[in-house]
Structures are given as structure tokens and as C-alpha cells.
Structure 1
Amino acid sequence: MTIGVTPHLNFRGNAREALEFYQSVFGGELVAVSYADMGNADPATADNVVWGQVAADNGFRVMAYDVYPHLPWDQGQDPFFVSVRGTDPAELQGYWDKLVEGADVRQPIGPSQWAPLYGQLTDRFGVTWVLDIAVEYAST
């Protein structure tokens, strides 16, 4: 198994703009999934990014999303997540089991809509980690 550690940046309505900028700087492929793509019909947030990524051949990776409007957000609070994506569920679970000691679990690890295994926690040092099994997004 290989893993990748990717910064996951949080924004309030300008994630797509930020991702386009990072792509212009580092190159690579930009993928952005909007709230509308996930079935959200609220016109105020439909174009916001629920998940986005720039991935370049040079190894640059960054992920981003627009924080849900009903959630509090301050750029000084949760400005990023550390995302660990893997291919082996047992190995990923092992990382989770170690990180969870003394942590605040935000989303227990388990199957999700977008991944066979997904979990989110803030470790005892205040760093928020997202662990998941990488799957390819099938655009419609």
C-alpha cells in the first residue's frame, strides 16, 4: 500500500477560485464536485465545492471545499485538514487506531457515500485528520 498526505483547505465560497489559482501555479488536473452535483438544490450554495483537488505529475496535491453554510467557520479555526488516502483498508484502519487515542472523533471511521472507508478526527494536538480509501469520482 502507498499513502499520500495532502493538505485539505477549507474556504467559505471561494474554494473553486483557490483551486483554479493553485492549478495555474503548479499545473496538473483540477477536479471540483459542487454541492449541486451531490444533489443539493439550494441556489445559494449549489455552485460551492463539496470536494475539489488539484493533482500534478510533479507530486503537488491539494484538496479543498467550501464549508457548509450552516457550520461556523473562521479562517483561523480548521484552516486545513491533513488527508491520508490509501488503498488498503486494514492499513488505513491501523493508522486510525493510533491517531484516535486522545482524539475528538468528528466522523467515526466506516463506509460513506463517497468512499468504502472514511473517518475524520482532531488529534490531541489539534490537527484534524481525514482518512479514507481513495476511489475515482465518476462524473455525470
Structure 2
Amino acid sequence: MSVTTTTHLNFRGAAREALDFYRSVFGGRAVAITYEDANAVQDESEAGWVMWGEVTAANGFHVMAYDVPSRLPWNQGENPFFVSVRGDDAEEIRALWGRLAEGSTVVRPLEPARWAPLYGMLTDRFGVTWVLDVAAPRTG
């Protein structure tokens, strides 16, 4: 069993540009899935925005990013990042969720998502937003 934490940066329409920039700085590979790619468009003007993206490099650098849809609150100075905890064991992630959820506000319940076997988001009692998920098998 292993768990990793990754900084998850939040943008409003600039995630792809940021991911490309970080890839140019740290090397590695950038991946971006748009709301259109995920069949999750709620505002046509945001179809090309990044719903899920990351840069990973052989040197250990890893950052995730997405574009917060306009229907959700976002202030660059208040919620510019999440802490992402990803594991490969669903029971371990459920146990971590259970402990983190004490005194928290659940933003999205821990449950299956189109992109992960389990995915959930909460803001803990200290105001830190956490994203927990089980890594989906990578293809292609």
C-alpha cells in the first residue's frame, strides 16, 4: 500500500497554460482532460477548460491542476490549491477519508466517479480542502 500527496492547483481558465509552463520548467509530461473530453460541459464557453490535468516528471515533480467552473466559487487568493491524496487501495483511502472527515465540510462525497474508482473532496476544520481518490488504471 502506498499513498502520495500532490499539490492540486486551481485556476479559472488558465490551467492548461499553467500546466504547459510547469512542464517547460520541470520537464516531464503534461496531461489535460477538458470538460468536453469528460462529457461534463455545463457552460459551452468552458468546454475547453481543464477538468483534470497534471504534470509528472522523472525527477519526482508532480502537480495537478484544473479550471474551477464559473458556477462554483473561486477566489485566487482564497482557494488556489487543494491537497490531493491518491492511493491504490480503496479501503485505505476510505479509512483516511473517515478520519479527515471528522469536523469537516464534505464538498463531494467519497464515491465512484467517471475518472476514478473512488473520488471525494472535503474542507477540513482548518480550512484546507482535500481531494482523496483511488488511482484509476492508466491506459494509452
TM-score when normalising by structure 2: 0.93
Question: Given residue 9 of structure 1, which amino acid in structure 2 is its aligned partner?
Answer: L
Question: How many angstroms does 1:129 deviate by?
Answer: 0.4
Partner of 1:76: 77
Question: How many angstroms does 1:43 deviate by?
Answer: 3.9
Distance in 2 of aligned mates of 1:109 and 1:19: 26
Q: Quick check: 1:32 aligned with 2:32?
A: yes
Partner of 1:46: 47
* Pairing 1:90-129 to 2, within 5 Å after superposition: 90-129=91-130
Query: Which one is further off, 78-87 or 33-42?
Result: 33-42
Question: How many angstroms does 1:115 deviate by?
Answer: 1.0
Q: Unpaired segments of 5 or more residues in structure 1?
A: none
Question: Given residue 4 of structure 2, which amino acid in structure 1 is its aligned partner?
Answer: G
Partner of 1:85: 86
Query: Which one is further off, 36-45 or 110-119?
Result: 36-45
Q: Quick check: 1:65 aligned with 2:76?
A: no
How many residues are treated as equivalent by the alignment? 139
Partner of 2:136: 135
Secondary structure in 2 aligned to 1:10?
strand
Distance in 1 of aligned mates of 2:8 and 2:138: 17
Deviation string, structure 1 residues 36-71 (Cα, Å, up to 9, x no partner): 112228541121101100001111110000111212
* Structure 1 residues 136 and 53: alpha-carbon distance in aligned structure 2, compared to 1, 3 A threshold: farther
Question: Given residue 32 of structure 1, which amino acid in structure 2 is its aligned partner?
Answer: A
Q: Which runs of 4+ in 1 moved over 3 A?
A: 136-139
Distance in 2 of aligned mates of 1:55 and 1:78: 23
Distance in 1 of aligned mates of 2:44 and 2:111: 31
Distance in 2 of aligned mates of 1:9 and 1:104: 20
* Structure 1 residues 33 and 9: alpha-carbon distance in aligned structure 2, compared to 1, 3 A threshold: same
Q: CA RMSD in A?
A: 1.5
Identity between Structure 1 and Structure 2 (%): 58
Distance in 2 of aligned mates of 1:27 and 1:60: 9
